[in-house]
Amino acid sequence: EKAAEEKDEGWITVTSGKKRGQFAPTRKESTISKVQQKEEQRKKKKELINFYTFQIRETKKQNLAELRKKFELDKKRLQELKQKRTFKPF
C-alpha cells in the first residue's frame, strides 16, 4: 500500500523487497497430507518411550530375544538346505 501511495507532489514512495503473504498460494491436498504426516512423526519422536531405566532394560532384553530367535531360525534353515544339498553359499 505504501509503495503505491502518491505524495502530495506526485512522488511515489518505494520500499525494498516484495510483500510476502499478500497472495498466499492454496495448498494441494497432497502437500497438506505430507505436512500432517511430518507433524505426526515429530510428535511421535517427542514422546518418551523408554523413560525409566527398567523400561530400557526390558526393551534391550526383548530385542536380544528376537535376535536369538531369528538366529535359531536361520540356523535351522541352513541345516535343512545343507541336508538337501542345494546349499550354495556364493
Tens digits of residue pLDDT in 56-68: 999 999 999 999 9
In this prediction the pTM is: 0.43
Tens digits of residue pLDDT in 10-34: 777 777 776 665 555 566 778 888 8
Task: Spell out the alpha helix ranges (H) of the chain.
Answer: 29-46, 53-84
DSSP 28: P
Residue whose C-alpha cell is 497430507: 33
Separation between Cα atoms, residue 37 and residue 41, nearest integer Å? 6
Tell me the three cell numbers of residue 36: 500432517
